[in-house]
Structure 1
């Protein structure tokens, strides 16, 4: 029966989730990331986020909310104010977003609505430092749509780890962003073997075409 399974097969209502990775103000708005103050609004990353990733994440959220896809959000956020619970890698980098830092939350246009699940993580890989695998299985999810930042770091790990755990993953290529165009292209080429790569228009169309919807 494995021969009948494809990474690009149609999504199914009640079995599909959208996961936005690290779409939080501290990374998306110029001047808020304390470790990269030199990156101004015209930096490639902020331009691609502003002009492409954020608008496409908005489109994905709208489609998900309207057509029975479970929206999930994960952000980098320590459980403690001093970050003592962080992974060793985040301590060494250093990456620390205090739980009481307002800019650590998603912007209003990408924020969870209603009872949508927001999952704080303290490592690059959401499957390594949270109970998301348990949550997805409780929700009955088989198809996982992934978008967010950075393409070659946290998005990459999310895609690979989800694939290893048996989810059918779609990465929305134009709803992700990273520091340079070269890094974006290299990342998609590197982890494309673990997922279906598709643009926002294609993924929104697949969401709208799910069984039971017209």
Structure 2
């Protein structure tokens, strides 16, 4: 888990701009959902082509959070990444041709992200009522990337809590696009992981200023309980 704190000058800027640090003082459990992004072998397994070492350190925090949310009736979505290959072409050539262009890295990434191989990382506790779905872009809300938006709107959800990896790539992209689509968006700082503390912190500091809230799991749970007590 990353041990970082949003810098004081950023907090001061937030207070000067909007009179407080956090976007949301209360969260409605009846209209909230948790999306756990990319917690799968491609990113969590030691030696995997996309390994994020810190991802294994957020397994227990995510488990604790998910248990508490289920008890409140908050749905949990496991959002996994997969890309299809058809001969020499894929459903995301730009990524495979440039982000993982090294031939061996490309081969291993294609193999790891093949549809049908995606499973929630062992150690994470799922429940029968949870929903597992796949995306094929960084953001689960990119057009045609996943059914997440449809699933949320069908349940009357207007608030999305985001956990998983990488903080500054798929979690950030999904959280930003959620806000653009009108969802209240919250990155959970102690339930997200990046390749470094600096990348994790940079994502959090940018997100809280422009795209949504940043909270610990306990802070989010406290706001959900506060709204439920009214």
TM-score category, normalised to shorter length: 0.7 to 0.9
What does the per-residue CA deviation read over 1:25-61, in whole Å, with 9 as the maximum and x for residues that have no partner? 2211212x2366xxxxxxxx41x3333x222111111
Q: If the length of structure 1 is used for normalisation, what is the TM-score?
A: 0.81
- What is the rounded CA distance, in whole Å, between the counterparts of 2:195 and 2:161 in structure 1? 22
What does the per-residue CA deviation read over 1:124-161, in whole Å, with 9 as the maximum and x for residues that have no partner? 11111112212211110011100110011001101110
Are the equivalent residues in 2 in contact too, given 1:74–1:121 (CA < 8 A)? yes
Higher Rg: 2
Matching residue within 115, 124, 128 for 1:114: 128
Matching residue within 35, 48, 52 for 1:19: 35
Count of paired positions: 196
Structure 2 residue 75 is matched with structure 1 residue 60? no
What does the per-residue CA deviation read over 1:82-111, in whole Å, with 9 as the maximum and x for residues that have no partner? 79552233332344311232xx31123325
Gaps of 5+ in 2: 1-21, 101-108
- Residues 114 and 191 of structure 1: CA distance in aligned 2, closer, same or farther (over 3 Å): same
Structure 2 residue 126 is matched with structure 1 residue 90? no
SS of 1:106's equivalent in the other structure is: coil
Q: CA deviation at 1:115?
A: 3.5
CA RMSD of aligned residues (A): 2.5
Gaps of 5+ in 1: 1-5, 37-44
Matching residue within 56, 70, 90 for 1:50: 56
Structure 2 residue 163 is matched with structure 1 residue 147? yes
- Residues 184 and 59 of structure 1: CA distance in aligned 2, closer, same or farther (over 3 Å): same
